[in-house]
Structure 1
């Protein structure tokens, strides 16, 4: 028995090639002497017998078959037969069961067909290409990775369908040096390949610091400073707080006015954050002013006298800013006979 196998061509040309082969077979069968004398005339079609086959795709994601692979002993009583199969070219889009038709032609041009199932499979695992990755913990101190983060251009003859990594969950305990992980790359047919790489876990989340509110403080009588205390600032962090400090300690002495205090929180991985609060000290004690004593004897016959006197003086628990005469004739001016009221204002 003679079998004619088709050659793999592009998908676009396979139906045309099949038609050409069938026509060629019919033409050859029509040649003089093609059939033996005892089978002349031969009007009986050959017997087509098919078998199912499984064919793997190659590294390019393609596969081709010939007619002899699906033939299971097709024959003709009068002589050899020619075989053709369609379709014969397959790609990743044909994964699974595909129905093909086997055409059997005898020397007289009689034709019969049968169908077979061609199971296209992909046994080639992806090529895993991975690279180290750096991951940051979230606000809860955890991070979960999918495996795709490590991909550095993995390929497959069909298509890469997914990634996974083991281990894939990390916590604050993993912050620091590189950790070895295994990345698995799978394709659409379930083939898997694995590669080793590393992950570095970082904590970039700063602590959350809360400053206290300090009530208004009044200076003690006779004093220019007051000791002020406050509740310590507090802080929380995804991995843990190392310290909370202030640039001015609670229990320090503060002068009158507003002083801004800065609190700094540091977590166990060196991240810091700050907040500020004001310490306000009020001075309610007024300065003590002393007016000069002025005694002037009027000269008889004069309409007035030039009177000179020192400025008023003042003391304060902190400091006197100014002592200013605000009413009455100034020192060194002429005072008319009589009583004059002079007024000074002291400001601290």
Structure 2
């Protein structure tokens, strides 16, 4: 379409309801003069847009000063109900052009009237509306939205001042939430033709949730227990760029608190956001047993040697035992059943046993068994005897030293008092002579014997 000179357009400043001619009432007629063209134009092209509905018509007539000297160059009577474009090739043979619109049960409107010098050319000006293709974008890092700007990608190829609604520069840039959002824009050209384009922007959330777990930790078993009671539920939490609460599996408040046994325990948690993205964290709790085993020994005790023996046979194996918080059987060293029973000699005997649990903790107990000898030594004296004085003597020479001896359960040689070898041999006078000997063992036990020698003349 030719562009109208500004001088012509300015002459068409009087408008009706926004149009150059508008007949909106039944049985009404409106007439408008189209400005004259320069006399130097031999021919010219008249172009405009028109709208007719109902039983209405539109006519264009050329005439001079004499009203009867006119020529109708166009008559349109059609119920089309939409805007149409028309171009008329005219000869500049009359002074005036008159536009006559008549409405009968309908409407008539004319717009964009233009006179141009020369021949009419085909109206090839069409409005093409361009939008971007459907787009898929990702959310901005750490955000629940994506920042997009497609204002420069929404345009028309029209040169006749098309208006795009809504204004792309008012819509973009935009922060779009997760999901699909559709945009529709309508371009209206100066001929009131509408052209539409639509596109969608799909915002995907591909960012993993941030899941926080506590640091790896080493804890001790609870006192007297094989386990440690732990609760890390408040230290496991997740956040997501979407701003929505992520689902944590397994649920921390169902996992903790918990009693966990001695050893290494690894916990893994996964957070899933509303877009199905997964974030994982794990931590390890090492439960160590630092509690010593409890080992039981019998109390210290004093016992006596077995009768006639230098030792006491004892057995405390069943009284030496150990327990541990781990509930595992501990190792006792030395083995009570290999150490006791035993024959213990006279004196104090101290025993020490050590129990070791599976974590290497040691517990010790000690007890002392004192073996005492309370058994008297056995002293042997010769039997009582009557003897005669030696011939021609008033005494009898005797020697019983070899017949006086002692023995003791301790096995040690006991001391005999008085010493037989010092008391006898001796010369005994006539009469009865009683001898008493006492044997004492290392434990201070005493045994005695007595015998009488009667000497007669």
- Structure having the larger proportion of residues in strand: 2
Higher relative contact order structure (alpha carbons within 8 Å, sequence separation ≥ 6) = 1
TM-score, with length taken from structure 2: 0.33
TM-score, with length taken from structure 1: 0.41
* Larger Rg, first or second structure (1 or 2): 2
